[in-house]
Chain A
């Protein structure tokens, strides 16, 4: 007996040591890269190759002190030694833009978008996995812990196949760049040379961690090893996030270059190249967007499995999974518009003209489409939550108020999508006497539009609070005051939002622009304070009955699929807008795009390509879902147990 114990202990020590060694090896690329980053990167990025240096030396340059040219950073305005070649001046020839008998930009657009869809998905899902596995680890209820663990495993299983597809699509993307835009890609690689290999090594590290994480699931299911397994998901997500930040730095550089002089020559400081004006807003916006998108896709997977389920047990499991994925997705959707505000503010701060092109000029109507999509997302989320109330005993108490919520949501959406300017032909423009319509031109002011979306978000938060209370009644001593205060707080928040939205019409634009900040703060107050107060009230509550998981109308599942499709479409749209704002520049104001496709497409054409991308993604992800279902583990919950009801405690804590 004693020998057995010591053997087991030995095995554990061996496993821990092995894991530690593996963790160190996986993180090695980061440590190796640190000195290079700290020193401002490799000095020779874009510099002459060794054979050119040798030739120069042979010509008698040897012995003379090499002249160091000093350049001025276009963004940071600091000076640095010119160590890179200038951005190539391209022309519309096969040399710079080799082509097939098709628009190269559209080919690149599709390759890029598909890679991004899968990249976002495989970045988001491991974060969910980490949260859910941790919830299982700390859960005192063993049945619940097992359910959470199974759910996390289900999540990572889907992301594993998607991960392979991401890598394949990444390869296709690079080949598309090399084949169709060699001059531009060569320049970008020369600028980012000090970190390119880090990106590749990080990718290797992420693959390694992900495979160990997935295949080690059963071996590391107990005790300390389980904690190590969960810690591995943290490492996985750190690597994934760094990968995304690095990729974001490329698009940040293309939109708002830094670290180079006006000719595009690298000045030896890689941190300046990475840390451009838009890098951090892009990082925040993308991470939130990826999470919302990932939640949507997993919810759609759960809906698909729910609709094709053969028995109540499966239906209950996938209903629960869909709810959790949707909640996580929406939790990140709610702050997403605020991250968008920040990004737009930074765009305006960087180049006002760029902001005007986006929000008030050439691309403004795409923002109207975006507003419509955001409205659809929130309407669908609310619809799902109202449907979900049906599976709770006591949920019917809220049904009669739904019509008021619908009213607020619809009015909010109509205000949010009101345009300030209208798309017109030159003849129409002349007849009207200008861009502003005599009546409509007074509407569509940003503070009013912000009021619309904030009303929608606050209503969604209220729907979530309803859902948390679905089958429960607060039993704390101060429940009466709490209820009155909570309702009053939300009503006053709405009234304040309407007041600020209308106030914007009576003050000049330079003061009005600041109103977005209190509007956002008001909504965030509802989110944090409202949720916290509600949870405090429910800390002691009376349960009216169990949650009947699986007993939900199938239309709710179609709502989840709709949610995921709307996410996908909107992501494609916003990516197109962000990329199009550079107009005829590869790298804004540094490297001009001289290809025949350096123009802005019509809205209709753009929408068609986005729809194609969405359709292509969903066809391929269905294949991933099918693969996931092929190797599905049976019985998420032992058949002898009742359908989970009272026990599940999803993310929002009901």
Chain B
């Protein structure tokens, strides 16, 4: 149970971090990361 909890926390933090990184760095260049959704 503890392992699953640790895994969920790790996945949430890692996915959030990388998605934020992708969006922020594209935004800094004046580019739209969510271009495909527009």
- Interface membership of A55, Cβ < 8 A: no
Is A522 in contact with B29, judged by CB distance below 8 angstroms? no
Q: Provided the pairs A492-B15, A517-B26, A518-B26 are in contact, do residues A484 and B10 lie with their beta carbons within 8 angstroms?
A: yes
Is B14 in contact with A493, judged by CB distance below 8 angstroms? yes
Is A481 in contact with B6, judged by CB distance below 8 angstroms? yes
A476 → B minimal CB distance (Å): 14
CB closest chain-B residue, reference A491: B14
B6 → A minimal CB distance (Å): 4
Is A496 in contact with B18, judged by CB distance below 8 angstroms? yes
Contacting B at CB under 8 A, from A486-500, are 488-489, 491-493, 496, 500
Is B35 in contact with A518, judged by CB distance below 8 angstroms? no
Is B26 in contact with A525, judged by CB distance below 8 angstroms? no
| Chain A residues in 8 Å Cβ range of B25 | 514, 517-518, 521
A298 → B minimal CB distance (Å): 36
- Interface membership of A515, Cβ < 8 A: yes
Is A511 in contact with B6, judged by CB distance below 8 angstroms? no
Contact digits for B3-36, partner A, Cβ 8 Å, 1 yes 0 no:
1001101110111011101100110110110011
Q: Provided the pairs A484-B3, A485-B10, A517-B26 are in contact, do residues A522 and B31 lie with their beta carbons within 8 angstroms?
A: no
Is B31 in contact with A503, judged by CB distance below 8 angstroms? no
Is B22 in contact with A496, judged by CB distance below 8 angstroms? yes
CB closest chain-A residue, reference B26: A514
Contact digits for A498-514, partner B, Cβ 8 Å, 1 yes 0 no:
00100100111011001
- Interface membership of A480, Cβ < 8 A: yes
Is B14 in contact with A489, judged by CB distance below 8 angstroms? yes
Contact of A484 among B7, B17, B21 (CB under 8 A): B7
B35 → A minimal CB distance (Å): 5
B34 → A minimal CB distance (Å): 10
Is A480 in contact with B6, judged by CB distance below 8 angstroms? yes
CB closest chain-A residue, reference B16: A492
User: Complex Cα distance A488/B14, Å?
Assistant: 7
User: Complex Cα distance A518/B15, Å?
Assistant: 14
Is A511 in contact with B31, judged by CB distance below 8 angstroms? yes
The total of chain A residues at the interface (CB under 8 A) is 24
**In terms of DSSP, what is the predominant structure of the interface of chain A?**
helix
Contact digits for A512-532, partner B, Cβ 8 Å, 1 yes 0 no:
001101100110010000000
CB closest chain-A residue, reference B20: A518
Contact of B22 among A489, A500, A510, A511 (CB under 8 A): A500
| Chain B residues in 8 Å Cβ range of A511 | 26, 31-32, 35
| Chain B residues in 8 Å Cβ range of A481 | 6, 9-10
| Chain A residues in 8 Å Cβ range of B29 | 514, 517
Is A485 in contact with B6, judged by CB distance below 8 angstroms? yes
Is A484 in contact with B6, judged by CB distance below 8 angstroms? yes
| Chain B residues in 8 Å Cβ range of A506 | 36
Contact of A488 among B10, B19, B28 (CB under 8 A): B10
CB closest chain-B residue, reference A485: B10
| Chain A residues in 8 Å Cβ range of B9 | 481, 485
User: Complex Cα distance A297/B7, Å?
Assistant: 43
CB closest chain-A residue, reference B17: A525
| Chain A residues in 8 Å Cβ range of B13 | 485
Is A488 in contact with B7, judged by CB distance below 8 angstroms? yes
Contact digits for A456-492, partner B, Cβ 8 Å, 1 yes 0 no:
0000000000000000000000001100110011011
CB closest chain-A residue, reference B18: A496
Taking each of A500, A503, A511, which has the highest tally of chain B beta carbons within 10 Å of its own beta carbon?
A511
User: Complex Cα distance A511/B29, Å?
Assistant: 10
| Chain A residues in 8 Å Cβ range of B36 | 503, 506-507
Is B7 in contact with A515, judged by CB distance below 8 angstroms? no
Is A522 in contact with B21, judged by CB distance below 8 angstroms? yes
User: Complex Cα distance A517/B2, Å?
Assistant: 36
User: Complex Cα distance A511/B34, Å?
Assistant: 10
Q: Provided the pairs A484-B3, A515-B26 are in contact, do residues A492 and B35 lie with their beta carbons within 8 angstroms?
A: no
User: Complex Cα distance A601/B17, Å?
Assistant: 47
| Chain A residues in 8 Å Cβ range of B17 | 525
Is A488 in contact with B21, judged by CB distance below 8 angstroms? no
Is A521 in contact with B21, judged by CB distance below 8 angstroms? yes
CB closest chain-A residue, reference B4: A484
Is B21 in contact with A525, judged by CB distance below 8 angstroms? yes
| Chain A residues in 8 Å Cβ range of B3 | 480, 484
| Chain B residues in 8 Å Cβ range of A503 | 36
| Chain A residues in 8 Å Cβ range of B18 | 492-493, 496, 522, 525
CB closest chain-B residue, reference A483: B6
User: Complex Cα distance A493/B21, Å?
Assistant: 11
User: Complex Cα distance A503/B26, Å?
Assistant: 13
Contacting B at CB under 8 A, from A2-21, are none
Is A488 in contact with B11, judged by CB distance below 8 angstroms? yes
| Chain A residues in 8 Å Cβ range of B11 | 488, 492
User: Complex Cα distance A515/B31, Å?
Assistant: 9
User: Complex Cα distance A522/B22, Å?
Assistant: 8
| Chain A residues in 8 Å Cβ range of B15 | 492
Contact of A489 among B6, B10, B31 (CB under 8 A): B10
| Chain B residues in 8 Å Cβ range of A496 | 18-19, 22
CB closest chain-B residue, reference A517: B25
User: Complex Cα distance A429/B1, Å?
Assistant: 61
CB closest chain-B residue, reference A508: B35
User: Complex Cα distance A518/B25, Å?
Assistant: 6
| Chain A residues in 8 Å Cβ range of B28 | 517
Taking each of B2, B6, B18, B28, which has the highest tally of chain A beta carbons within 10 Å of its own beta carbon?
B18
User: Complex Cα distance A480/B7, Å?
Assistant: 10
A348 → B minimal CB distance (Å): 14
User: Complex Cα distance A484/B21, Å?
Assistant: 21
| Chain A residues in 8 Å Cβ range of B22 | 496, 500, 518, 522
Contacting B at CB under 8 A, from A219-255, are none
B24 → A minimal CB distance (Å): 8
A-B contact pairs, 19 of them (CB 8 A): A480-B2, A481-B9, A481-B10, A484-B10, A485-B9, A488-B10, A489-B14, A492-B11, A492-B14, A493-B18, A496-B18, A500-B22, A510-B31, A511-B31, A511-B32, A514-B26, A517-B28, A518-B26, A522-B18
- The 9 lowest CB-CB distance pairs between A and B, nearest first, are A488-B10, A492-B14, A496-B18, A514-B31, A518-B22, A518-B25, A485-B10, A484-B6, A514-B29
Q: A485-B6, A492-B14, A506-B36 are in contact. List 7 more A-B contacts (CB 8 A).
A: A480-B3, A484-B3, A485-B13, A488-B10, A514-B26, A518-B26, A521-B21
